[in-house]
Amino acid sequence: MAILKSMGMPGRGIRGTYLFLYGGIVFLGLFGGLLPAWLAANALARAMVTSTGMLIRLYFPASLILPLLIILLGVFAVYITLRTGKILRIAPVQTMRETGGERKVRSVLRGRFLAFDIAVREIRSGRRRYAAVCLISVFLALFLSVIGKMGTWLGPNGEGLMNTFSVADHDLGVQLFNDTVPMDEIERIINWYSPVRETYELAMQNVTVNGQQYTANVLDDTRWFHVLSGDVCDENSILITDTVANELSLSAGDPVQIASGGRMETYTVSGTYQCANGMGTNIGMSLEGYAKIGDVSGYIWCHHYILENGGVRDYAMKYLQEHYRGVDAHTNSWSGLDGIVSTMHLLIALIYLIAAIFILIAVWLAANKLMQAETEKMAVYKSMGLSQLRLRISFALRFFLVVLLGTAAGVIISEVFADSVIAKIVQSFGIGEFHSGFSILGTLVPLVVLPLLFFGFALAFSSKLKRVSIINLISKYEE
């Protein structure tokens, strides 16, 4: 840069060169990622067909993708322009006198912890060189923590989805369509598989709320509703989802008119509850409240059971389906759920794999740059008797310490903000509340795996240090 300025090249020209160089690389990276994204989307679509029977037609959303890529390119261009602004203020003589901008630090080197102490010393003296690695780890930890939280909420068998879309928790549901099968016999069979801890009845009926059609979830025991805010409903009130509240502009205390089968009554909204069936287009009512407008004596009731041993529910359901007709036996699931859950787990695993590849590339680029900048120091450390292995471990420890700090920051940010951000996103699907809580996948895995991956890759790339020696350094200065 000093030579270019001394030859008369203006600072703006050098700045433009940087903008063209890095901007061009960013352009290739952004648009080069479209093909892998298209291939991954096609693979997921094929997996959805085989696992759920859902055919997803793919198309390239140019009106959405291209403006987004242009915006990202503009963000990078602004960043590069700001970062290269100081070129305009640097004179050639000043540039030639610069020594690399390292800070002089006083750091104790202990023989027993020499590799660790050297790592801390180099981080402190060249902190600007490690800032990028720290920022990368913050964003990776934040992203993987959010993905892990969603995976934990989903559960190994889709429990998160099942509980969200269900009116109330249950292990097994049984609905009779005639009186040929006595209910006491069904319950004896269920108790043979597992003692029943709790039971209640549910009816799902079509009603109109202020003239708009919804599904009414009617419970004979309203304490099982997933109430989010307000109070549980009674014979004169109803519960609504966030979706219904937004569609009809309702809140707790508002009166509503509900009709079914030609009968209409006025009720009061007591609060909101969670049920994403029909993307949240449903309301909750008590048996006494629905009896004012509908018939509660027919075969509309489904008996729900919460078992002491929920793991046997599939066996009980299968037995009832095989031995009784006129009975609908089901668990807290639906057709295609297993395929959706397995596809989501596959997607999460793919994201973690892509993150590992990204870390490999990031470490490769950063390690090469750091080793070039610190060749002289490495040679001096070798001349002091530091073995190649301890030198490599010290080099990898720098990545480990910096990434551990960045990962901790990313996980903390995720713990504070992730649930609220995800909740805003999933509201459009009728899910009124999202709470993942502490999770191994979302909290511990990024905190442990990211520093170890950076450490392992840095240790592998540090094999180049075996070519560094004090003799080569002396030869370099003699030349």
Rounded to whole angstroms, how far apart are CA atoms 314 and 329? 10
Give percent of the chain with pLDDT exceeding 90.
28
Residue 362 tokens, joined: 């990031």
User: Could you give phi then psi for residue 3, rounded to 5 degrees?
Assistant: -65, -45
Rounded to whole angstroms, how far apart are CA atoms 321 and 334? 15
Q: Under DSSP, is residue 225 helix (H, G, I), strand (E, B) or coil?
A: coil
Q: Under DSSP, is residue 294 helix (H, G, I), strand (E, B) or coil?
A: coil
Q: What's the pLDDT score for residue 403?
A: 93
Query: Does 385 or 172 have the greater pLDDT score?
Result: 172
Q: Is 423 exposed, middle or buried (0-12, 13-18, 19+ CB in 10 A)?
A: middle
For residue 465, pLDDT beyond 80? no
Q: What is the mean pLDDT of residues 330-357?
A: 81
Element (H, E) at 227: strand 227-230
Q: What is the mean pLDDT of residues 278-296?
A: 91
Rounded to whole angstroms, how far apart are CA atoms 399 and 402? 5
CB atoms < 10 A from the CB of 353, how many? 10
Q: What is the mean pLDDT of residues 256-270?
A: 93
Among 2-16, 261-275, 464-478, top mean pLDDT goes to: 261-275
- DSSP string for residues in 137-199: HHHHHHHHHHHHHHHHHH-TTSHHHHHHHSSS--SEEEEESSSSS-HHHHHHHHHHHS-EEEE
Closest CA to 350 of 36, 31, 28: 36
Residue 387 tokens, joined: 């073995």
pLDDT band at 275 (very low <50, low <70, confident <90, very high): confident
Closest CA to 244 of 265, 213, 219: 213
Give the tens place of pLDDT for each residue, 28-68. Answer: 888 888 888 888 888 878 777 766 666 777 888 888 888 88
Give the tens place of pLDDT for each residue, 93-145. Answer: 554 444 444 555 555 566 566 677 777 877 887 777 788 889 999 999 999 98
Rounded to whole angstroms, how far apart are CA atoms 404 and 311? 39
Give the tens place of pLDDT for each residue, 219-253. Answer: 999 999 989 899 999 999 999 998 999 999 999 99
Q: What's the pLDDT score for residue 99?
A: 46
Residue 462 tokens, joined: 């540090």
Q: What's the pLDDT score for residue 94?
A: 53
Q: Is beta strand 237-240 parallel, antiparallel or unpaired with respect to 263-273?
A: parallel
Residue 48 tokens, joined: 């959805």
Q: How far is CA 232 from CA 139, 264, 290, in A?
A: 41, 21, 15
